[in-house]
Amino acid sequence: MTVVLLCVGLAACNQSDKASPTQTSQESNTVLLELKDGQVEIKLRPDLAPNHVAQIRTLTEQGFYDGIVFHRVIDGFMAQSGDPTGTGRGGSELPNIKAEFSETRFTRGMLGMARSQSPDSANSQFFIMLADGDFLNGKYTVFGEVTSGMELVDNIKKGDKAANGEVTEPDKIITMRLVGTN
C-alpha cells in the first residue's frame, strides 16, 4: 500500500487543554515528541477525530513511533512520518481508519493523517504542517496540533522537492510518549 499526502495542483505540491501527569494514557491528550533538537508538545484533538486519536494513542503506547524517520519533508509545506519502512508505503498492523473530516483548517502546526487515495485508508502515518495548507481542508483528517516546540519541527531535515520531498538520511522521532505514561 502506498500512503501519500496528495497535493491539489502543482503549485500546492511545490509550495512552500493539557493532561495532568496523573491521568491515564487513555485520558491524556498531550503527546511529547522527542526530536534531535528537543521536545515538541502536541495536543491531541479527540473532539475532532476520536478514532484517529485512539489509534495514535494505541501506537504511541506500543512505542511504535520510536525511531521512525520523517521520510517525506517539503519545505514550506509539511513533515511526514509514521511509516516503519521509511518508504511512505508502510503502516502498522492495526486496521485502517475511516475518515473523520472536520471544519478545522490545516494551518501551521496542525497534525493530519496521511492516507492513500481512499479517504478511509489512514493507518499510522501522519504529517505536521510547516505552513498553512487550505487546499487540504476537508480532504484529510486533523487530529492534533503542536502547542510548543514548532521551531524544532522547522529544523527537521528537508527532502528534495523534485523527489516529492523524499529525504536522504532523514531525521527521526527519538521517542513519542503520552503524558502520564512511561
Q: Where are the domains of the chain?
A: 28-178
Question: Cell numbers of 136, please?
Answer: 487540504
Is residue 29 within 8 A of residue 44, CB to CB? The reply is yes
The per-residue pLDDT for 154 is: 98
Give the whole-angstrom CA distance, residue 26 versus residue 161. Answer: 38
**pTM of the shown model:** 0.85
Question: Cell numbers of 145, please?
Answer: 496540533
Using the structure block, give the residue that is written with the C-alpha cell 487550505. Answer: 134
The per-residue pLDDT for 181 is: 58
The per-residue pLDDT for 18 is: 38
- Architecture of the domain delimited by 28-178: Beta Barrel (2.40)
By C-alpha distance, which of 166, 157, 124, 159 is closest to 143? 124
pLDDT tens by residue, the chain, 182 residues? 434 444 333 333 333 333 333 334 447 899 999 999 999 999 999 999 999 999 999 999 999 999 999 999 999 999 999 999 999 999 999 999 999 999 999 999 999 999 999 999 999 999 999 999 999 999 999 999 999 999 999 999 999 989 999 999 999 999 999 997 55
Is residue 77 within 8 A of residue 130, CB to CB? The reply is yes
Give the whole-angstrom CA distance, residue 83 versus residue 69. Answer: 8
The amino acid at residue 21 is P
The per-residue pLDDT for 116 is: 94
Backbone angles phi, psi at 11, to 5 degrees: -60, -35
Is residue 43 within 8 A of residue 145, CB to CB? The reply is yes
The model's pLDDT over 76-118, given as tens digits with 9 standing for 90+, comes to 999 999 999 999 999 999 999 999 999 999 999 999 999 999 9
The per-residue pLDDT for 112 is: 98
